[in-house]
Amino acid sequence: MQKKTNSFPFILEKTMSSTINDTNFNFPKQKSVYKGKVREVYNIDNDLLVMVATDRLSAFDVIMPRQIPFKGQILNQIAAKMLEATKDLVPNWVVATPDPNVTVGHMCDTFKVEMVIRGYLTGHAWREYKSGKRELCGVMMPEGMIENQKFEKPIITPSTKAAIGDHDEDISREEILAKGIVSKEDYLQLEEYTYALFQRGTEIAAKQGLILVDTKYEFGRKNDGTIVVIDEIHTPDSSRYFYAEGYEAIQAKDQKQKQLSKEFVREWLIENNFQGKEGQQVPEISEAKIEEISNRYIELYEKITGEAFQKGDVSNLLPRIEANVSSFLQGV
């Protein structure tokens, strides 16, 4: 019994030290730090933002108690590739990626809405549809659709950005304009950029034999007034993908599509009676489940990018990040 008791802290320490849960860096000219659900953002001299992708896992707007190895690196590197592949269409906030888990970009005044765009009836939209609703964020959905069916054309269903612990809430274009959350001129630009990014993302996915199902974008305004896409795009945390091969046959049989997204995490939580509602408890996440989720994220990276995933050195994870970022900032 004594041996078993002593071994547990060692296993826990080993797991925790190889993932990022929380950061407390003190970079040159640092003004403040904002801690989001899965990212921590450092304000450098009110000019640059250092965004650290942690290994925290969020679902139903709740941060899970365990971290997923390499998740932060995977999301950060997919986002970097996707932002690079779309910068000719839509300007973005990125200046550099000095570390596998870090993106440095321009500080922006963030728009208070997330632009969610859906090409298919799945996830939240399907749950609403199945409950009998035919209107989502002011957009009418046709009768007679089945789960994962393609919309005639993509629909934009915005949501308000929630603070930690709160849920993002659906909102219509009409409400956004009526409440003055975004001006009409700016909102039309956000819509145009959203459609353009989704179209390019769809084309990139198709080259990998994938379907970009739905995603969300966040936008901000730089100090010079330019509207840019910020944060990350087309990662498994913000997007859903299906395999293109077999999609039609699976739909014809009214079966579930295999998703490349974190929907598999949401589905596992639902099966274990958790949807982030009051009074519900997060189910215990075993070591085997942690490894399974990490492997799924690696699969997502390789399928989405078409490249083999190169695991970063996690033997000294936080000091590595601090050294890489500090070195970059000293050269700015």
pLDDT tens, residue by residue, 173-209: 999 999 999 999 999 999 999 999 999 999 999 999 9
Reported confidence tier of residue 12, pLDDT bands at 50, 70, 90: very low
Confidence category of residue 147, pLDDT binned at 50, 70, 90: very high
CA atoms within 13 A on the CB side of 330: 6
Indicate the range of 80-94, 170-184, 250-264 predicted with least confidence: 250-264
Q: Give pLDDT, residue 13.
A: 37
Q: Round to whole Å and give the CA distance between 58 and 112.
A: 20
In sequence order, the β-bridge partners of residue 51 are 41, 103
CB-based contacts of 179, cutoff 8 Å, min separation 6: none
For 176, the enclosing helix (H) or strand (E) is helix 173-178
Residue 6: pLDDT over 50: no
Q: Which fold has domain 25-110+185-218+228-332?
A: Phosphorylase Kinase; domain 1 (3.30.200)
Per the model's pLDDT, the better-predicted residue between 267 and 228 turns out to be 228
CB neighbours of residue 72 within 10 Å: 27
- The ranges assigned to domains in the chain are 25-110+185-218+228-332
pLDDT more than 90, % of the chain = 83
Residue of 100, 120, 82, 105 lying closest to 235 (CA atoms): 82
Lowest mean pLDDT of 11-15, 24-28, 79-83, 84-88, name the range. Answer: 11-15
- Dump pLDDT digits (tens) for 227-241: 999 999 999 888 999
Q: What is the pTM of this model?
A: 0.87
| pLDDT at residue 2 greater than cutoff 80 | no
pLDDT reading at 261 higher than 70? yes
Half-sphere exposure of 166 (CA within 13 A, CB side): 8
**Is residue 167 very low, low, confident or very high in pLDDT (cuts 50, 70, 90)?**
low
